Amino acid sequence: MKCLIVFLLLILLTGCSPKIECPVAIEQEVSNTNMEVITMYEYKAELVRVIDGDTLELNIDLGFGIKFNERVRLEGINTPETYGVKKDSDEYKKGMEAKLFVQEILKDQPIMIQTKKDKKGKYGRYIATVFVGGTTKMNLNERLVTENLAERVDY
């Protein structure tokens, strides 16, 4: 028992020695491994409008009667553009096809979104996976890929 007390006193008086790992060193080691803890959040939402095939404006229910409108980017996919391209181009036509598909799928359907804590894209939109339907929820992000209306991307 005396040895343990002497050992603890030595640690307290001299600080951490090179042979004894300090809690700070452990924290740094964990942060240096680039292991990111990702917290997922789920919210009910209502469709306000479809901006394009991969961007939605939603009225998001935060709970406790708090709702707010927010633009949301669909995670992991990209659809052809409808803004800034000529209306007679193939890209515009494919982009409109994706937009109309999303409008039809989300029309009068319950929506659930899943976001990662504080993750926003380069244009300030929250990045989300969108689920549609009641008991059997369909992943809209994946459905756009399987319908060949979007391609997978990492951003």
Catalytic residues: 73, 81, 125
6-31 CB burial, b ≥16 within 10 A, e <16: eeeeeeeeeeeeeeeeeeeeeeeeee
C-alpha torsion angle, residues 7, 8, 13, 17 (rounded to 10): 70
Which residues have CB under 8 Å from 129's CB, separation 6+?
Answer: 74, 75, 76, 113, 114, 115, 139, 140, 141
Amino acid at 48: V
How many CB atoms are closer than 10 A to CB 112? Answer: 17
The C-alpha atoms of residue 94 and residue 115 are separated, in whole angstroms, by: 27
